[in-house]
Amino acid sequence: MALKDDIIKNAGHHFHSLSHPLLPHPYYHRFLSWEHCYDEFGKVFSGIHTAITNADKDLLALHLATYLASWGMYRGSSFLLQVDYKVHVPVVELITEKNCVGGTIFKYRDLFGIEWSKLDDNKKANNLTLLFGSSDATFRYRDLFDIEWSNLGLNEKTKKLEQRFGLSGAISGYYDTIRNNVKGPVNSEVSRTLVTKVLMGTLGCVPAYDTYFKEGIKKANKEIKKANKVIKKANKVIKKATISSNFSKKSISALIDFYRDEDNKSDFDNVRATMTTRHGKKYPEMKFLDMGFWGY
């Protein structure tokens, strides 16, 4: 079976597992917490919330916390176990901030449910910059020490990281600071799994780079390399690129190229068209790939 077919089969399996036959009601599956969280943020970016109140932020933070717990981020030694759900309110504020003071347009609106495969190179680059900042570097824990923190509050620190490393860096830096407050100094960055699960649950713009997704990418790369060897022996141009399993601008770009490959896009789109949340929102491309590679 071709890699494309495996991805479609895997994504379909995960989607249809949401109606678990042993549960008393089909809407009780824990994976549905992603839909509830994504749909609630969708109300913001679709304009249903014309102004975001403190009560709205509180509800969004509660949805985010429930989703993260359902998806394994409150296990064992996680620092999140030691904090109230309101710890996520600043992240909600970051994701739903306006493009300028007094503005009416959400800065990250275009990332919500983004159809990466339909973007031209300029729009793709602009949205990747929103996610990662202007450099090709990904936020690392040591970057916290490159900024003079002494006179800055937590929100100011987060904004500086956003300017340098985009939305993903700001989220990572914020949770790093919270973790250090809870557990004491830790000489490593907060997990990419947490950062990408937050982005997946709120915007649906990247997959969640957890162990199973990353292992799926690594296995898929083996299939891509095998196919490239066959192509090479036939003296044809090798056009299938492997995908980095580490969350980065390079990895997301490779996933975009994989989705919109001429051999994949039409079939992926057709299957994805049958996948909607319980409130009618189409599953985004990166959620589809997240399900497809997860446990591949």
Tens-digit pLDDT string for the chain (296 aa)? 589 999 999 999 889 877 655 555 555 778 889 999 999 999 999 876 667 899 999 999 999 999 999 999 998 889 999 999 999 999 999 999 987 766 678 999 999 999 999 999 999 999 999 999 986 666 555 555 555 555 566 677 777 778 778 999 899 988 988 998 898 888 777 889 999 999 999 999 999 999 999 999 999 999 999 888 877 766 666 667 899 999 999 999 999 999 999 899 999 999 999 999 988 999 999 999 999 999 77
In the 8-state DSSP scheme, what is residue 106? B
Q: By residue range, what is the domain housing residue 183?
A: 3-293
Buried b (16+ CB within 10 A) or exposed e, 50-67: eebeeebbeebbbbbbbb
**Residue corresponding to tokens 């679709």:** 46
Cα angle 18, 22, 24 (rounded to 5 degrees) comes to 85
Quick one: which of 276, 258, 278 has its CA closest to 268? 258
Q: Which amino acid is at 270?
A: N
d(CA 17, CA 275): 12
Q: Please give the single-letter amino acid code of residue 47.
A: G
Angle, in degrees to the nearest 10, between helices 211-233 and 3-16: 160
pLDDT of residue 155: 73
Find the distance separating the first CA and the last CA of the chain, reported in whole Å. 13
User: Considering only CA atoms, which of 246, 245, 248, 247 is closest in space to residue 221?
Assistant: 245
Distance from CA of residue 230 to its chain's centroid?
33
**What pLDDT is attached to residue 136?**
64
For the chain, the domain total comes to 1
pLDDT at 234: 67
